[in-house]
Amino acid sequence: MTIQAGDKMPGGTFGVMTDTGPGAISTDDLFSGKKVVLVSVPGAFTPTCSMNHLPGFVDRAEEILAKGVDTIACMAVNDVFVMDAWGKDRGVGDTVMMLADGNGDYARALGLEMDGTGFGMGMRGQRFALIVDDGTATHVAVEAPGQFEVSKAEAILDAL
């Protein structure tokens, strides 16, 4: 079943890069007692993700955080090394937390996986953005295939 506004976020763990190498963050640590914008992209270094989706959240981070958001996080079905390299390539710094959903377990738990095998990408996460308040999804914006409207930074700013 696909996550809906009002649903509790499923439990899980993401890979993150730390100062000492690959690490992990639990969904409890990410969401408990916080307001989080969780953005999902089909893949690091892919055109729309790299040129528009992630940069929009980096560019508008100050405005998003000013609306009471504690964390902006970007997840993709990529490994922690790729997510770290992509974050460095896009200059995210500490603005956006880069989350690796390496096996797609979290995308699947949300009911938001997609089959990218036709593009040679395997199973991936759909393009979406969620607003999560203390572990509950309060806004769910999932893009139609090939679209980039409801999950971009400007749309999420309007929803906050």
pLDDT at 1 over 90: no
Cα 138 to Cα 38: distance, rounded to the nearest angstrom: 11
For 113-124, write each residue's pLDDT tens digit: 988 888 777 788
Which residues lie below 8 Å from residue 122, measured CB to CB, with a gap of 6+? 77, 116
Q: Which amino acids are annotated catalytic?
A: 49
Examine residue 7 and state whether it is found in any structural domain, yes or no.
Answer: no
Binning pLDDT at 50, 70 and 90, where does residue 12 land? very high
Beta carbons of 106 and 100 less than 8 angstroms apart:
no
Query: 71-76 and 35-40: which strand pairing?
Result: parallel
CA 140 to chain CA mean position, Å = 12
Examine residue 1 and state whether it is found in any structural domain, yes or no.
Answer: no
pLDDT at 132 over 90: yes
Nearest residue to 138 via CA among 156, 154, 152 = 156
CATH number of the domain within which 30 lies: 3.40.30.10
Examine residue 154 and state whether it is found in any structural domain, yes or no.
Answer: yes
Report the domain count for the chain. Answer: 1
- By residue range, what is the domain housing residue 79? 13-159
pLDDT at 49 over 80: no
Examine residue 2 and state whether it is found in any structural domain, yes or no.
Answer: no
Q: Residue 95: what residue type?
A: T
Nearest residue to 77 via CA among 33, 123, 115 = 123
Examine residue 8 and state whether it is found in any structural domain, yes or no.
Answer: no
pLDDT at 75: 97
Specify the pTM.
Answer: 0.94
pLDDT at 158: 97
For 65-90, write each residue's pLDDT tens digit: 999 999 999 999 999 999 999 999 99
Cα 143 to Cα 139: distance, rounded to the nearest angstrom: 13
CA angle 37, 39, 43 (to 5 degrees): 160
Beta carbons of 156 and 56 less than 8 angstroms apart:
no
Examine residue 52 and state whether it is found in any structural domain, yes or no.
Answer: yes
Beta carbons of 95 and 54 less than 8 angstroms apart:
no
